[in-house]
Copies of this chain bind each other. A is one copy, B any other.
Amino acid sequence: MATTEYLGIDVGGTGVKMGIVNAETGNITNFQSYDTATWRESKHFVERLADAIALQLYQHKNVKKVGIGLPGILTRDRKTLIEITAIPEIDGTPLVEILNERFTDHEFFLENDANAAALGEFYFSPEKDVMPENYIFITLGTGVGGAAILDKKIFLGGDGNAMEPGHVPSRNGRVLERNVGKKELLMLANDMRTAWRGKTVLPSDGSISTTGLVVAAEEGDELAIAIWNEVGDMLGEMLVGLIRILDIKTILIGGGLSASFDFILPNISKQLDYWLTPAYLENVQIKKALLGNDAGLLGAASLCF
């Protein structure tokens, strides 16, 4: 029997990545990357996307299912885009209907990108054989995104767009991602650098980068560690709420900023120890998501299962 293959498409604010994904191994072939800005400037984003899909499907006649991850919110039936902040001209597009008209022999599955990445871990993680059926997925990057897998399925909540941990109340009268989104994290770091009186390798001219913060922490820099501790505290408080509301005890942390995992984990754990009862603490597990750079594309392909 031939191996099943899916087309996975990760639509992002910077690039649109796609490739043929082997359903058993998660191996990606015929990878293509397109520039989002160029497609937007053409004023025909959806047509460019459909053309790129046509090319992939022409080259892979065995592929009958296409999964697409998008950075925004969708109707509950997952057929129409509601709000794609990075590409607002496609808001309201009935994308599944449009693609079905052109590709009558294929099935299309849309999903929010954090949801797709969360599901991708279930089907393609190197640890997929020991993945629980329920877990919370947090993605750290420009913002703080989230998803929950419940009974092996994406948790949609009431109106289809559940799991926005970046938008829950956090410290200083701000929602969480206004404290620990990438931009805000760097502002916090530069502020803490200005106030810092001890030794540190971090620059004092406002040019701290997230990669620099991770490297400095790896080298034992006390200020860098103190900054990640702050981030861990705020993430930990939010996670306590999620755990108590969803009764899910495995948490995966992914996204570009999850490179900081080893340095945010101590204070995430400190917050869980403070707020949760022993019965919970025995069972809570915080782990790093394992798909890394391919999470978006593999997540999109996992929608076809």
Contacts and interface: CB of A to CB of B under 8 A. Distances in A.
A54 interface: no
A146 to B, nearest CB: 8
Given A275-B169, A275-B175, A159 B241 contact: no
Contact of A165 (B169, B237, B245): B245
A160 B151 CA distance: 11
A219 interface: no
Interface in A210-268: 237, 240-242, 244-249
A134 interface: yes
A134 B150 contact: no
A162 B241 contact: no
A245 B249 contact: no
A122 to B, nearest CB: 14
A241 B169 contact: yes
A248 B157 contact: yes
B169 A247 contact: no
A78 B16 CA distance: 46
A270 to B, nearest CB: 13
A164 interface: yes
Given A159-B134, A249-B159, A275-B175, A167 B242 contact: no
Interface in A123-161: 134-135, 150, 156-161
B248 A159 contact: yes
Contact of A245 (B168, B173, B275): B168
A168 B244 contact: yes
Contact of A241 (B245, B248, B249): B245
Nearest to A150: B158
A163 interface: yes
A245 B144 CA distance: 13
Contact of A244 (B156, B164, B173, B247): B164
Interface of A: 134-135, 150, 156-165, 167-169, 173, 175, 237, 240-242, 244-249, 274-275
